Amino acid sequence: MAEETIEKNCTVRNKMGVHARPAALIVQTANRFPCDVSLVKDGQPVNAKSIMGVLMLAAPMGTTVTVRAEGEQAQECADAIAELFEKGFNEAIG
């Protein structure tokens, strides 16, 4: 059975964008799941389980990022990361 790839488009809603604290939340969440997961901005994917990769996104408020997960628990992983974006990482939303 082929593994399904789940993609969710998310918008960075918090005023400070994806800085160290939100990046850490993304990485912690991604690492709870066994699937491969990346964040894609402007066609460039980064490993969502790598703090350096997530910080390299340089994603300010208003940026659209695609969460792409593949493998076991991909849907759950993509949903959990998308929820972080939706809640603005529990920071001030612009």
- Which strands sit side by side in the sheet containing 44-47, from one edge to the other? 5-11, 64-70, 36-41, 44-47
* Catalytic residue (choose from 19, 40, 41, 47): 19
The C-alpha R_g of the chain, in whole angstroms, comes to: 12
Q: For residues 14 and 17, what is the distance between their CA atoms, to the nearest angstrom?
A: 6
For the question of residue 13 being annotated catalytic, the response is no
Residue 50: its H or E element: none
Q: Catalytic residues, which ones?
A: 19
